[in-house]
Amino acid sequence: MDENSAMQIESGVSLKPYNTFGLPAVAQTLVRVQGDADVRRVVDHPELGLAPKFILGGGSNIVLTRDMPQVVLKVEVKGWRLVEERRDAYIVEGGAGETWHEFVKWTLDHGYPGLENLALIPGTVGAAPVQNIGAYGVELKDRFESLDAVDLVTGRSVTLGPTLCAFGYRSSVFKHALAGRSLITRVRLRLPKPWAPVLNYLELERKVMETGITRPSPHQVAEWICAIRRAKLPDPREIGNAGSFFKNPVVTPEQCRDIIGRDPEVVHYPMPDGTMKLAAGWMIDACGWKGKSVGQAAVYEKQALVLVNRGGAIGSEVMTLARAIQESVYGRFGIRLEPEPVVV
């Protein structure tokens, strides 16, 4: 088989099974990418090369509002390995198309702990750096070593370290300067030795108290995390959603005082850099949104930060609901909520 015949170009592909919200949209053209060479074939292709492109991982952080004229590059780069054992860390690598949670399980089962607080986050390894995934006191950037990516204009492969990735709260260079420009193919993580559990999060502290286990194993922490997440978040296999729909706003202490002036009960947390993080879910709930809907798009009854598809919702319903929430939160608290998923 020559190099070009290996590339499969699919037309008119329904993306409904490929996004966890279960929103309908059709990709005019879809190409499955299994490695750097596949990306270069697309870049060098006489028609596809110049066409706009959209990179698709597990579809767990996107809102599809329309059919997609762009070439959808579905990332299916497989494999994981221990790259190196250093005196003070294990360096592990995952293919961008691997499921994040399966990768976390593999690291734990092979004795490379450090990702347990990020267990059960949906999506792929390749998308994890895009929004610097985070949960229960750990962010991807805390374990990040480097990644490989292919430039979608030049076809050149590059390796980027943490500085160039410019990680921030649910943000990185891949959401800004390199958005849609760089396709991540492999991610390497640095898992420090000796392992120490990260338990300074209210729900984890509660688990320690309930069980009396003060020195949990990495597997035990992962089990706790999975149980906490299952109790709180809707399973996308049962009810379509994209996790937290809005970012928690980060404000200055002065802005925070102003908001507390409007409502003394507003939930807020001091950040290490002196800023304050406000609980977006609390503000949405305070505006009375829990359970409200637009068409088949609704605010999840158990957690106001999550918007769900009650069955048959379309992207425009989700966005109409999101805008109405933004307006009412702005009206009451003077804060503009920013969506976390990528709206396409």
Show which residues are catalytic.
Answer: 170, 244, 340
> Which CB, 29 or 61, lies closer to ligand FAD?
61
> Which CB, 59 or 197, lies closer to ligand FAD?
59
Q: Which stretch binds ligand FAD (CB under 6 A): 34-42, 50-58, 107-115, 267-275?
A: 50-58
Window 201-240: residues binding ligand FAD (CB under 6 A): 233, 236
> Which CB, 102 or 263, lies closer to ligand FAD?
102
Of 107, 241, 248, 328, the one binding ligand FAD (CB under 6 A) is 241
Which residues are 149's β-sheet partners? 158, 184
Rounded Cα distance, 49 and 71, in Å: 9
Place of tokens 């998308």: 127
> Which CB, 62 or 256, lies closer to ligand FAD?
62
Burial 108-127 (b: 16+ CB within 10 A, else e): beeebbbbbbbbbbbbbbbb
Rounded Cα distance, 72 and 233, in Å: 28
284 binds ligand FAD (CB under 6 A): no
Residues in the interface with ligand FAD (CB under 6 A) total 33
Nearest to 112 by CA among 99, 129, 128, 94: 94
Draw the binding track, 161-200, toward ligand FAD (x: CB under 6 A; -: no contact).
Answer: -------------x--------xx----------------
Half-sphere CA count of 191, side-chain side, radius 13 A = 25
Instruction: List % helix, strand, coil for the chain (3-state, nearest 5).
Output: 30, 30, 40
Is the Cα dihedral 110, 114, 120, 123 positive or negative? Answer: negative
42 binds ligand FAD (CB under 6 A): no
Of 27, 71, 75, 251, the one binding ligand FAD (CB under 6 A) is 75
> Which CB, 113 or 339, lies closer to ligand FAD?
339
299 binds ligand FAD (CB under 6 A): no
Of 25, 39, 42, 59, the one binding ligand FAD (CB under 6 A) is 59
Distances, alpha carbon 2 to alpha carbons 5, 41, 154, in Å: 6, 12, 22
Q: Is 26 helix (H, G, I), strand (E, B) or coil?
A: strand
33, amino acid identity: V
Window 251-280: residues binding ligand FAD (CB under 6 A): none
Q: Which stretch binds ligand FAD (CB under 6 A): 51-59, 105-113, 314-322, 324-332?
A: 51-59
Burial 249-272 (b: 16+ CB within 10 A, else e): bbbeeebbeebeeeeeebebeeee
Rounded Cα distance, 309 and 322, in Å: 13
State the minimum distance, in angstroms, from the CB of residue 126 to ligand FAD: 3
Window 100-139: residues binding ligand FAD (CB under 6 A): 121-124, 126-128, 130-131, 133-135
287, amino acid identity: C
Rounded Cα distance, 262 and 256, in Å: 10
State the minimum distance, in angstroms, from the CB of residue 58 to ligand FAD: 3
> Which CB, 257 or 302, lies closer to ligand FAD?
302
State the minimum distance, in angstroms, from the CB of residue 239 to ligand FAD: 9
Draw the binding track, 14-33, toward ligand FAD (x: CB under 6 A; -: no contact).
Answer: ------x-------------
The answer for residues whose C-beta is within 8 angstroms of residue 183's C-beta and 6 or more apart is 33, 39, 55, 73, 75, 96, 126, 149, 150, 152
Residues that bind ligand FAD (CB under 6 A): 20, 54-62, 75, 96, 121-124, 126-128, 130-131, 133-135, 174, 183-184, 233, 236, 241-243, 342
